[in-house]
Chain A
Amino acid sequence: MKNAHALSRRKFLKLAAIGAAGVSLAACAAPPPRVEAPTQPQPTEAPKAMEPEGEITYVTHDPTTYRDKVKERFNKKYPKIKVNMQQIPSDFPTKIFASAAAGTLADVVRVWEPMVLDFGRAGQLIDLQPYVDAEKDFRPDDFIESLWNFPVIDGKRYGIADGWNGHLLFYNKDLFDAAQVPYPTEDWTWDQYVEAARKISKPDEKIWGSDTIPIGWLHWSYKNVWQNGGQVYNADYTECLLDSPEAAEGVQYWADLLQEAEIMPSPTQAEGLGDLFQTGRVALQRMGSWAIAALAEAKFKWDMVPEPKRKERRTLLHTAFNVIPTTTKNKDIAWLWINELVSPDSLFDMTHANGTPAARRSVNERKPWVREGIEANWDVVPAAGDYGILVPAPPNVGEVEKIQADAFQAIYLGQRKAADAFKEIAPQVTKALQRK
Chain B
Amino acid sequence: MRQTIEGYLFISPWIIGFILFTFLPVAASFVMSFFNWRLIQAPVFVGVENYVNMFTADPLFGQSLQVTLIYVVVAVPLQLAFALFLAMLLNQRVRLLPFFRTVFYLPAVVSGVAVAVLWQWLYHPDLGLINEMLRWFGIKGPAWLVSPQWALPAIIFMSLWTVGGTMITFLAALQGIPQHLYEAAELDGAGERAKFWHITLPMLSPVIFFNLVLGIIVGFQTFTQAYIMTKGGPLNATMFYALYLYLNAFNFLKMGYASALAWVLFLIILVITIAQLKLSRRWVYYEFEEARA
Contacts and interface: CB of A to CB of B under 8 A. Distances in A.
Contacts of A402: 247, 251-252
Given A19-B31, A20-B28, A97-B253, A269 B42 contact: no
A25 B24 contact: yes
Given A8-B42, A216-B233, A399-B252, A16 B27 contact: yes
B181 interface: no
A267 B26 CA distance: 41
Nearest to B31: A16
Interface in A90-133: 93-94, 97-98, 100-101, 118-119, 122-124
A398 B148 contact: no
Nearest to B23: A21
**Interface on chain A toward B: helix, strand, loop, or mixed SS?**
helix
Contacts of B124: 271-272
A21 B25 CA distance: 10
Contacts of B31: 12, 15-16, 19-20
B120 A272 contact: yes
Nearest to A7: B43
B42 A7 contact: yes
B27 A19 contact: yes
Interface in B31-90: 31-32, 35, 37-46
Contacts of A94: 250-251
A122 B28 contact: no
A144 interface: no
A396 interface: yes
Interface in A5-45: 5-9, 12-13, 15-17, 19-21, 25, 32-33
Contacts of A3: 44
Contacts of B163: none
Nearest to B124: A272
A399 B255 CA distance: 13
B42 A9 contact: yes
Most buried by A among B32, B38, B41: B41
B236 A406 contact: yes
Interface residues on A, range: 35 or more
A7 B120 contact: no
Nearest to A412: B234
Contact of A267 (B27, B146, B247, B255): B146
B252 A6 contact: no
A273 B41 CA distance: 41
B235 to A, nearest CB: 6
A410 interface: yes
A97 B24 contact: no
A268 B44 contact: no
A166 B196 CA distance: 67
A98 B27 contact: no
Given A402-B251, A413-B148, A21 B127 contact: no
Given A15-B31, A21-B23, A21-B27, A9 B43 contact: yes
B145 interface: yes
B125 interface: yes
A20 B42 contact: no
A399 B19 CA distance: 33
Given A7-B43, A272-B127, A410 B235 contact: yes
16 contacts: A5-B44, A6-B42, A15-B31, A19-B31, A20-B30, A100-B40, A122-B40, A122-B41, A267-B146, A268-B146, A269-B126, A271-B125, A271-B143, A271-B145, A398-B247, A402-B247
Interface of B: 19, 23-24, 26-28, 30-32, 35, 37-46, 120-121, 124-127, 143, 145-148, 231, 233-236, 247, 250-255
Considering the complex of A and B, which 3 residue pairs feature the smallest CB-CB distances, nearest first? A20-B27, A16-B31, A16-B28
Interface of A: 3, 5-9, 12-13, 15-17, 19-21, 25, 32-33, 93-94, 97-98, 100-101, 118-119, 122-124, 216, 267-269, 271-273, 396, 398-399, 402, 406, 409-410, 413, 415
Given A268-B143, A402-B251, 8 more contacts: A5-B44, A6-B43, A6-B44, A19-B30, A25-B24, A97-B40, A402-B247, A409-B234
